[in-house]
Structure 1
Amino acid sequence: MQENKIDELIGRIMDATGITSQSSLAAALGINRSGITHARKKNQVPDKWILKLYRKFGFHPQWIETGKGQMFMKDTVGTAGFFHDPTLGAEMRFIPKVSARLCAGGGSFVTDSDVKEHLCFNAAWLAAKGSASRMVAMEVFGNSMSPEIKEGDTLLIDQSQTEIYAGAIYAVGVEDTILVKRIEKHPNKLVLCSDNRDYAPIYLERDEMDAARIIGKVIWNSREYR
């Protein structure tokens, strides 16, 4: 029996987007539910579906059609796509999660900006928090920010928010490392503070401050319980 390409595609897209019904998928594609039935009968993926899914979600056309290869087109850090979720009645937005990791410890040398996956958020919530187009998600390793932030947490960082507010948590680049720390600005120095008191503060004097770059403010934390 010949495999039904449409059924496979529908399952693939629903799993990737969190869409829970074919009616919602049809709405996302801008077609009637009967359009899905018609495509199923022909057992052929319409070209306009591939274009719509690419534009709306950023899915790679080859992955849409075959399920093989990379799921998303190559993204730059901070880009994201919109889609409307009829089930929630809300506009949603994808935020890229990059391969680079934030270190809650001695420093992360994993600074790869390649997108490994996307996380989905309510677009209105993101807009209230900052600049969604400049947001990026990164995973944490190390325990210097425990108990507030633990190893394995995923943090959402707004790269547009680089102004320092005392006590706020930021992603900070120091030379070739990426740290997640609370930052205090003292006269002629920056102090990078850990919540875990086993870690001493890091003092960056005036001549070292130029080597530091504020990547962005941490605005959200996701924790997976193990």
Structure 2
Amino acid sequence: MPKKKRQCDEAQLKWFEEALERIKKATGARTQVQLAEVLDVRQSSISDAKRRCSIPAEWFLKLYRSHGLDPDWLSDGVEPVYLNESKAKIPADTLLRESPAPYGRMNSRGRVLPVSTMAGSRKENPTWEPNPIEELSVPESFCRPKLQVVKVDSASMEPVIARGAFVGIDCAQKEHPDGDLCAVHFPHQGLTIRRVFMQGDSFVLKAENDKHSDLTIPAAEMEDRTVGRVVWVLQNVSPL
């Protein structure tokens, strides 16, 4: 009898798809044809790899040689992105924003980061500066070059973000797509985290909690007062 082909389970397929997506993002390959050209393989080789849920080791070696990419990042999202940045085609910050960040893998490493209050070091400062009060271990794939972790002391975003939650803020991201969660500085008050929407010449910062009023900031001030965009939240889930 012919030997039965091994089937991928759900976890293996998810790993393969995430790793392949990182490869596509880092090389700019949008189609299987373009990816085959970058890897210098036949298209059928990519189909075979997907069927096996396995990426050949020589692909990682080729991508290191051609693009300076770290095989650990390609495989598991473990930073750094590049081992040789001189060959980088796309900035690492861009790739970290756009590529999937796996969580909970058995071989995932952690990193201990300082956690600041939302008030910051001095409330009267025109710009927000962190005031570390404790430390938190997070998966390394959650880390960014300009990441700031704060502990939420407000109920304005409940139930989406509970009081006491830890929030990761990417300070390299200052854009304001409608509906995104952003951390914005209010002098003499500290940070507030709200969903941001542009309306005319102003930005409206909307709360999830009906007991808290929405806030408005002139568009001309928004860039200077934006600390960054929220990229992850760690919090306890209340039992149903």
TM-score (norm 1): 0.49
TM-score (norm 2): 0.46
- Structure (1 or 2) with the greater strand fraction: 1
